[in-house]
């Protein structure tokens, strides 16, 4: 704002022109800094990504570092643009520090999520590509960012789970080990020969190349249910074959039991009339 300080009003237009010239110079410089800085930020992010790939850094670490550096560079760019506008950056830094303390207290949850991300990268309970179940959500880990872990569910939904919850809650990692035990429960009618059904199932399992020979497959009577004898079938498979074997063996058991005349039970209620 222009202030009258004893000078004649005839000098006001020249002051306005001088102020516009100075402001225009700062604005033009800020635009140049923004354009050049934006290009440099993209270039640095690209170079960082190439460096991490060439060093063959783990994907989980790559996604976390790239996310952190991208945010840091954007903050530095904003400070540079504000400085180009003529604002005192030292005062701005002090203001940002005070503002950062206030924001940090208000966003303590995000600081917890950031610390949780570091814990995840250090302890490695899971990595990108693993199939996990946590916080009642099951899915494939797509990326580990500074505040969230992104999971892709089987039906194609992206779920952002806070790292603080992931680092402090229970996690089931289904792909951490190379093998996994598959289990089926099949009911047969009362009166059927359990040993015969067991032999048929073991023969099917033995003919399935994707089922591992060791540990050996098992078939046991799990429960004498209200209208069925429930058999538990257990076999070990490679983690990559788990779901395909689970689905295909159900079909094979159903078809083979029908061919062998082994009856499946139906829900039945017996009523005795007094």
Q: Say which CATH number the domain at 165 has.
A: 2.30.30.60
On whether both 251 and 202 belong to a single domain, the answer is yes
Bridge pairing between strands 218-224 and 158-162: unpaired
Task: Say yes or no to pLDDT of 188 above 80.
Answer: yes
Helix axis angle for 108-123 and 89-106, nearest 10°, is: 80
Is residue 268, in this structure, part of any structural domain at all? no
Is residue 19, in this structure, part of any structural domain at all? yes
- Determine what percent of the chain is predicted with pLDDT higher than 70: 82
pLDDT value, residue 1: 45
Model pLDDT for residues 106-165, shown as the tens digit of each residue: 455 677 888 888 888 888 899 899 999 998 999 999 988 888 899 999 899 999 999 989
Is residue 3, in this structure, part of any structural domain at all? no
On whether both 23 and 57 belong to a single domain, the answer is yes
Closest-CA residue to 107 (of 58, 147, 49): 147
pLDDT value, residue 150: 93
Mean pLDDT of 187-212: 93
**Run of H or E residues at 36:** helix 12-54
For residue 215, say if its preceding peptide bond is cis, omega within 30 degrees of 0. yes
pTM score over 0.75:
no
| Contact yes or no for 214/235 (Cβ under 8 A) | no
On whether both 89 and 150 belong to a single domain, the answer is no
CATH number, position 185:
3.30.70.100
Model pLDDT for residues 27-61, shown as the tens digit of each residue: 777 788 888 888 888 888 888 888 878 877 777 77
Mean pLDDT of 239-267: 91
pLDDT value, residue 96: 61
Number of domains composing the chain? 3
Task: Say yes or no to pLDDT of 5 above 80.
Answer: no
Question: What is the domain extent for residue 239?
Answer: 179-260
């Amino acid at each position: 704002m222009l202030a009258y300080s004893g000078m004649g009003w005839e000098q006001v237009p020249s002051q306005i022109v001088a102020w516009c010239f100075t402001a225009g110079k700062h604005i033009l410089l800020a635009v140049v800094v923004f354009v050049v800085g934006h290009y440099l930020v993209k270039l640095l992010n690209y170079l960082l990504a190439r460096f991490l790939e060439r060093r063959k850094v783990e994907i989980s670490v790559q996604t976390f570092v790239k996310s952190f550096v991208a945010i840091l560079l954007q903050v530095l760019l904003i400070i540079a643009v504000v400085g180009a506008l003529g604002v005192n950056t030292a005062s701005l830094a002090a203001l940002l520090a005070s503002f950062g303390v206030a924001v940090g207290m208000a966003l303590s949850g995000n600081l917890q999520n950031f610390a949780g991300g570091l814990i995840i990268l250090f302890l490695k309970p899971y990595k990108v590509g693993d199939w996990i179940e946590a916080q009642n959500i099951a899915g494939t880990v797509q990326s580990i960012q500074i505040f969230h872990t992104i999971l892709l569910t089987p039906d194609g939904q992206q779920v952002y789970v806070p790292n603080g919850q992931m680092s402090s809650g229970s996690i089931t990692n289904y792909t951490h080990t190379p093998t996994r035990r598959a289990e089926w429960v099949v009911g047969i009618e009362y009166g059927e020969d359990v040993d015969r059904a067991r032999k048929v199932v073991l023969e099917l399992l033995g003919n399935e190349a994707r089922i591992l020979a060791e540990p050996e497959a098992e078939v046991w009577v799990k429960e004498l249910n209200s209208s069925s004898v429930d058999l538990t079938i257990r076999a070990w498979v490679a983690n990559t074959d788990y779901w395909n074997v689970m689905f295909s063996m159900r079909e094979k058991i159903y078809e083979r039991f029908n061919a062998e005349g082994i009856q499946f039970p139906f829900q039945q209620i017996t009523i005795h009339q007094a």
